[in-house]
Amino acid sequence: MRIGVVTFPGSCDDRDAAYALELVGAEPVRLWHGDADLAGVEAVVLPGGFTYGDYLRTGALARFSPVMGAVAGFAGRGGPVLGVCNGFQVLCEAGLLPGALTRNVGLRFVHRRQHVRVEAVGAWTAGIAPGTILDIPVKHGEGRYVHPDPDGLAAAGQVLARYCHADGTVDDGANPNGSVAGIAGVTNAGGNVAGLMPHPEHAVDPLLGSTDGARLLRAALARITAPA
């Protein structure tokens, strides 16, 4: 399966994302932010980083890159799209995901291993049962997810994951950035576009402390390639 990995000026996790996708059996296709088409890929990943230096506001400039027009069209046709960290921010700025990401509570950059609880089945979590606890690191300064109706999002099945303790408990102590309702990831209404603040591409090898990121990507790959 050919999965596009978009590099924007300032992306820094694009190579890791490509490596992780190759590790789980996909064929990563490197895409440039100036590309006007997606080279026939079957899914797209917007990786983490600091697009355009995070000037103005995170993701606010990247949304105008030519490739984002192609990504929006692809997503509108039901194509699977995943944004990780900065990619999540770009998808919110582009209007492909609900809500927004703002500065962390306490205004401190956070970098740590983090447990998250899978909340819903979607293109990017299929094969992993809701309630499953994953150990996936976070690293961001603007990861506080905000939305005016988090309960409505959850009722619609659009809350992908929440920050939690190792036993699955969701509370402020497990929330690294002050996100509303502990939300770590969301999807669009169709479930094919997802944003996740933790980094699955950094949890793909035992040497990294966890392989839960590979587990997530492998499950997503199986779902996307499954016969309709």
pLDDT value of position 222: 82
Token duo for residue 189: 């209404």
- Is 164 noted as a catalytic residue in this protein? no
User: How far is 127 from 122, CA to CA, in rounded Å?
Assistant: 9
**Residue 224: is its pLDDT beyond 80?**
no
Kindly name the residue from 33, 140, 199, 202 that is annotated as catalytic: 199
Residue 103 DSSP one-character state: P
Q: Any idea what the Cα angle at residue 213 is, between residues 208 and 215, rounded to 5°?
A: 120
Entry pTM: 0.95
Kindly name the residue from 42, 85, 93, 164 that is annotated as catalytic: 85
pLDDT value of position 228: 58
Mean pLDDT of 182-190: 97
CA-CA-CA-CA torsion for 59, 60, 66, 71, nearest 10 degrees?
50
**Residue 171: is its pLDDT beyond 70?**
yes
Q: Which residue has the higher pLDDT, 147 or 223?
A: 147
- Is 85 noted as a catalytic residue in this protein? yes
pLDDT value of position 227: 61
Indicate the SS3 state at residue 155: helix
Kindly name the residue from 42, 119, 201, 202 that is annotated as catalytic: 201
